[in-house]
Amino acid sequence: MNQDLSIVQLVLHASFIVQLVMLLLMIGSVTSWAAIFGKLRALKLIKVKNDEFERDFWSGTSLNDLYAAAAQNAKQGGPMERIFASGMREYQKLRERRIQDPGTLLDGARRAMRASFQRELDAAEVHLSFLASVASVSPYVGLFGTVWGIMHAFTGLASLQQVTLATVAPGIAEALVATALGLFAAIPAVVAYNRFARDIDRIAIRLETFIEEFSNILQRNLGVQAPPPPQPMAHATATGY
């Protein structure tokens, strides 16, 4: 009885539709695990590259030297370095066109950095949609296999004169394997998706902060006047503040 109800025997004796569902779920599970390990390596590399560039950026190195290094290291650099290179490239192009208006120079650099930021964010989110699809669809695919397997099992029992638990159990167990495989594929995908989404949000916040900090540096170098501070309220003036 134990040998007949082993996982391997249940899979081998399942109906064709249930076996097809199991195969699809196994393919989805293996593919999602490959995407998970690939995304772990990619996000770790992004963090390391951003840390290295941010350390160089705040070390006192001139912007021109940083830009020259970033231009040479475009493919191997991190997102922060490429965003910086995009801003500096646009800034220098505008200067070469004899544009002297500080506001135009600053706006051009900011637009270039925002466009590069969006490209980097899109690249970091690769495979996230696949993990979300596996997490949401796999349980339903497994449930479909279970329902089909139970229908097939009861259809086969219709011709029997006497039905016992021993005759019902194998068919039900075969069908339930599909649900188990669906959960096996979905649970890791859900956990990984939530973690990666949180990590990418942190990366996005860090990159946006860098864009603002670099914009402030350009603003100081261009001599752009900062907006005036808010005027004190009437009651504060009346009290002598």
If one compares 237 and 128, the residue with the highest pLDDT of the two is 128
pLDDT of 167 above 80: no
Q: How far apart are alpha carbons 131 and 37 in whole angstroms?
A: 12
pLDDT above 70 for 164: no
Distance of CA 38 to the CA centre of its chain: 11
Please report the pLDDT score of residue 5 as a whole number.
56
- pLDDT band (50, 70, 90) for residue 19: confident
Give the pLDDT confidence of 30-80 residue by residue, as tens digits.
999 999 999 999 999 999 999 999 999 998 888 888 988 888 887 788 999
The SS3 of residue 51 is: helix
What are the tens digits of pLDDT across the range 176-221? 888 889 999 999 999 999 999 999 999 999 999 999 999 999 888 8
Query: pLDDT digits over 115-149, tens only?
Result: 999 999 999 999 899 999 999 999 999 998 888 87
Residue 98 has what pLDDT? 82
What does the DSSP assignment read for 102-155? HHHHHHHHHHHHHHHHHHHHHHHTTTHHHHHHHHHHHHHHHHHHHHHHHHHHHH
Kindly tell me if the per-residue pLDDT of 156 is higher than 70.
no
Q: What single string gives the DSSP state of each residue in 149-195?
A: HHHHHHHHHTT-SS--HHHHHHHHHHHHHHHHHHHHHHHHHHHHHHH
In percent, the amount of the chain with pLDDT more than 70 equals: 79
Tokens (6 digits) for 173: 């167990």
Does residue 230 surpass a pLDDT of 80? no
CA angle 195, 196, 198 (to 5 degrees): 65
* Residues 6 or more apart in contact with residue 4 via CB below 8 angstroms: 170
pLDDT at residue 240, rounded to an integer: 37
Q: How much is the average pLDDT of 12-23?
A: 80
Residue with tokens 């505008």: 94
